[in-house]
């Protein structure tokens, strides 16, 4: 049975051995300790991207069998990284900058042109880009007649209330456009 005295003796011996293995440190030659995480601000690339730090541009357009597709690029123009996840909110505007209430935007994963992917976080470093598609039909439905004309789009990033605008002429039929989730590549 180990007594309290023998336990203390064993502990003192272990401490003495560990101190003997470490050479003495000269403060003049000791390297500076790295800064603690709280003292150096790091860019939080997991913070949601805000419209104020983003720019919207048309990347490409495609058409086929009465379908129209526009790939839009969202660029982080800020100095800090941020994250986008999910679907942007899209509103179509007429030539007088009024929202076209007759056209609703619906979330979709894919399109006539390509299969889609489920939403996932897209981390954007400064000048990084994310993409989404705006899809519509060019064929009037039923007695629709001439399809409404849009002169621009207003896009709100997920998690934000501010929006970006882009001049983009569209004539979607069927009372809707479909919007894919944001992704890190032009083509899913």
pLDDT at 73: 97
Q: Which own/partner pairs from 163-166 qualify as long-range (CB within 8 Å, at least 24 positions apart)?
A: 163/51, 163/89, 163/91, 164/51, 164/54, 164/55, 164/56, 164/74, 165/56, 165/93, 166/56, 166/57, 166/58, 166/72
The pLDDT > 90 percentage for the chain reads: 59
pLDDT at 24: 45
- Give the residue carrying structure tokens 């990284």: 81
pLDDT at 186: 87
Domain boundaries, the chain: 51-179
pLDDT at 28: 42
Torsion of CA 40, 45, 49, 52, to 10 degrees: 40
pLDDT at 14: 40
Q: State the architecture of 51-179 in CATH terms.
A: Sandwich (2.60)
pLDDT tens-digit map of 29-84 = 444 433 333 323 344 568 999 999 999 999 998 888 888 999 999 999 999 999 99
DSSP string, 57-91: EEEEEEEETTEEEEEEEEEE-SSS-EEE-SPPEEE
pLDDT at 118: 86
Cβ atoms of 157 and 74 within 8 Å: the answer is yes
Q: Which residues of the chain have pLDDT under 50?
A: 1-43
pLDDT at 23: 43
Rounded CA separation 155/170 (Å):
15
pLDDT at 142: 73
Of the candidates 133, 140, 143, the one whose C-alpha atom is nearest the C-alpha of residue 173 is 140
Q: List the structure tokens of 126.
A: 């400064």
């Amino acid at each position: 049975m180990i007594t309290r005295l023998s336990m203390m003796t064993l502990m003192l011996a272990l401490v003495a051995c560990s101190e003997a293995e470490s050479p003495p440190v000269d403060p003049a030659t000791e390297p500076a300790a790295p800064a603690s995480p709280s003292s150096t601000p790091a860019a939080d690339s997991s913070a949601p991207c805000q419209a104020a730090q983003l720019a919207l541009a048309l990347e490409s357009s495609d058409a086929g069998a009465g379908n129209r597709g526009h790939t839009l690029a969202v660029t982080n123009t800020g100095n800090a990284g941020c994250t986008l996840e999910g679907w942007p909110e899209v509103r179509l505007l007429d030539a007088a900058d009024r929202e076209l209430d007759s056209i609703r935007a619906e979330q979709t994963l894919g399109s006539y042109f390509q299969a889609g992917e489920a939403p996932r976080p897209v981390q954007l470093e400064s000048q990084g880009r994310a993409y989404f598609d705006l899809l519509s039909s060019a064929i009037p439905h039923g007695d629709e007649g001439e399809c409404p004309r849009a002169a621009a789009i207003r896009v709100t990033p997920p998690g934000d209330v501010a929006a970006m605008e882009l001049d983009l002429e569209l004539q979607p039929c069927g009372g809707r456009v479909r919007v894919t989730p944001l992704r890190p590549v032009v083509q899913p």
